[in-house]
Amino acid sequence: MFTGIIESLGTVEALERHADSARLVLRAEGVAEDLPEGGSLAVNGVCLTAVRPVGAEGRFVADVMGETLHRTGIGALAPGARVNLERCLPAGGRFDGHIVQGHVDGTGAILALEEHADWTTVRVGIPAGLAPQLAEKGSIALDGISLTVTAVSPAGDPQPWFEVGIIPATLRATTLGGARVGDAVNLETDAVAKYLLRARQFEGLPADPGLLADAVPGAEGVADPAAAGSIPSASLSASAAIAAGADPAAGADRPRPRAPRSRPTPSRSFPPRPPSRPRTPPAPWTPCMRRSARSPPAGSSSWSTTRTARTRATSSARPPSPTPSAWA
Chosen domain end from 198, 229, 260: 198
Nearest CA-CA partner of 109 in 127, 136, 121, 90 = 127
Q: Which amino acid is present at 311?
A: T
pTM of the entire predicted model:
0.62
Residue 13 lies in a domain: yes
Residues 111 and 81 in one domain: no
Residue 49 lies in a domain: yes
Residues 51 and 128 in one domain: no
Question: Average pLDDT by consecutive 10-residue portion of the chain (328 residues)?
Answer: 92 93 92 87 95 81 94 95 92 85 95 94 95 94 96 93 96 94 95 88 74 50 48 49 51 61 64 74 64 54 50 56 55
Please count the other Cβ atoms lying within 10 Å of the Cβ belonging to residue 81: 15
Residues 73 and 149 in one domain: no
Residues 78 and 111 in one domain: no
- Residue 24 confidence (pLDDT): 95
Residues 23 and 82 in one domain: yes
CATH code at position 149: 2.40.30.20
Residue 217 lies in a domain: no
Residue 232 lies in a domain: no
Total tally of structural domains belonging to the chain: 2
Chosen domain end from 142, 176, 198: 198
Residue 150 lies in a domain: yes
Residue 70 lies in a domain: yes
Residue 121 lies in a domain: yes
On the 0-12 / 13-18 / 19+ scale of CB atoms within 10 A, 128 is exposed
- Contact assessment for residue 166 and residue 112, using Cβ atoms and an 8 Å cutoff: no
Residue 234 lies in a domain: no
Chosen domain end from 198, 223, 240: 198
Would you say how long the chain is, in residues?
Answer: 328
306-311 long-range contacts, CB within 8 A, separation 24+: none
Going by C-beta distance under 8 Å and a sequence separation of 6 or more, which residues neighbour residue 226? 217, 232, 233, 236
- Residue 15 confidence (pLDDT): 95
Q: Which residue range is the domain that position 187 belongs to?
A: 106-198
Report the distance separating Cα 173 and Cα 5, nearest Å. 10
77-99 per-position pLDDT tens digit: 999 999 999 999 888 888 888 88
- Residue 230 confidence (pLDDT): 47
